Amino acid sequence: MTIHLRIWRQSGPDQPGKLADYKVVDASQHMSFLELLDVLNEQLIERGEDPVEFDSDCREGICGSCGIMVGGVAHGPERLTAVCQLHMRSFSDGDMIVVEPWRAAAFPIVKDLVVDRSAFDRIIVAGGYISSSTGGSPDANAILIRKADADQAMDYAACIGCGACVAACPNSSASLFTAAKIAHLELLPQGAVESGERARGMIDQMAREGFGDCSNHTECEAVCPKGISISSIARMRRTYTKTLLRR
């Protein structure tokens, strides 16, 4: 199949960017979208042009390295699918696909489709953990956890930190990312202890990083490759409000 690509090119963080047109004529429907970009890059290098830079690592949809806007949608048209797992069978011969980086003030562009998502790490550093030291933990079965709670915690813990939620949000909010971690940890008895401080620390950091607030557009949930529910955001707000009242 032949695929037309219109890709954001930007040589560095402070350089102007622009969309450039490319064509791949020998695409296969079994290729992943990133493999299509690989093929394009091989052709660009052979022609003496600069390849399109993008982050990717596991290519199994779990590391969260990849993340690009494909046809205006974070990770492309398939639901519950990171762009590394998006396959060309989702497209038709002759399609024109616009490819852009995540757009958010808190995710500055590094080059082409590569962005800096270190703000996410700083949100976790601000409280996204259960304080513990290695060793001396009680037997793993000492505290029973309801299966329903463990399962729900796992639903939230599945976040891969890719940033699609931010890219899809009109406010560039990191609420889904932040709330998923808060919900995962507070659903477990081990994590419930610090729940209030955690929520406050992470939410304040989210604001400091320049992410917007949530106004319930639910775009984040629609593009999340792991299907994380915005019920986590409701939970986060409840915890945050309770914490403020307690102060």
Q: Which of residues 40-99 bind other proteins (CB under 8 A)?
A: 42, 44-46, 48-51, 53, 55-65, 78, 80-81, 85, 87, 89
CB of 116 vs other proteins, minimal distance in Å: 7
Q: Among 34-42, 168-176, 210-218, 234-242, which window interacts with other proteins (CB under 8 A)? A: 34-42
Q: Which is nearer to other proteins, 104 or 215 (CB)?
A: 104
233: enclosing H helix or E strand: helix 231-246
**Which of 147, 216, 245, 246 is the binder for other proteins (CB under 8 A)?**
147
**Which of 191, 196, 220, 223 is the binder for other proteins (CB under 8 A)?**
191
Q: Which is nearer to other proteins, 43 or 243 (CB)?
A: 43
What 3 state SS string does 26-49 have? CCCCCCEHHHHHHHHHHHHHHCCC
Q: Among 35-43, 97-105, 168-176, 236-244, which window interacts with other proteins (CB under 8 A)? A: 35-43
Q: Which is nearer to other proteins, 39 or 222 (CB)?
A: 39
Q: Label residues 86-106 b or e (16+ Cβ within 10 Å = b).
A: bbbeebeeeeebebbbbebeb
Decide if 123 contacts 178 (C-beta within 8 A): yes
- The single-letter DSSP state of residue 137 is P
Give the number of other CB atoms < 10 A from CB of residue 170: 9
182: enclosing H helix or E strand: helix 175-186
| CA 115 – CA 106 distance, rounded (Å) | 10
Task: Indicate whether 39 belongs to the interface with other proteins (CB under 8 A).
Answer: yes
Q: Dihedral of CA 242/123/183/142: which sign?
A: negative
Q: Among 1-9, 25-33, 172-180, 207-215, which window interacts with other proteins (CB under 8 A)? A: 25-33
CB of 240 vs other proteins, minimal distance in Å: 19
- Return phi, psi of residue 125, to 5°: -60, -30
Task: Indicate whether 228 belongs to the interface with other proteins (CB under 8 A).
Answer: no
CB of 245 vs other proteins, minimal distance in Å: 25
Report the Cα–Cα distance between both ends of the chain, in Å, rounded: 61
Q: Among 24-32, 92-100, 171-179, 215-223, which window interacts with other proteins (CB under 8 A)? A: 24-32
Q: Which is nearer to other proteins, 19 or 45 (CB)?
A: 45
| CA 200 – CA 57 distance, rounded (Å) | 32
Task: Indicate whether 153 belongs to the interface with other proteins (CB under 8 A).
Answer: yes
Q: Among 1-9, 38-46, 211-219, 237-245, which window interacts with other proteins (CB under 8 A)? A: 38-46
Subset of 94-133 contacting other proteins (CB under 8 A) = 110-111, 114, 116-118, 120-121, 124-133
Q: Which two tokens stand for residue 88?
A: 């060309």
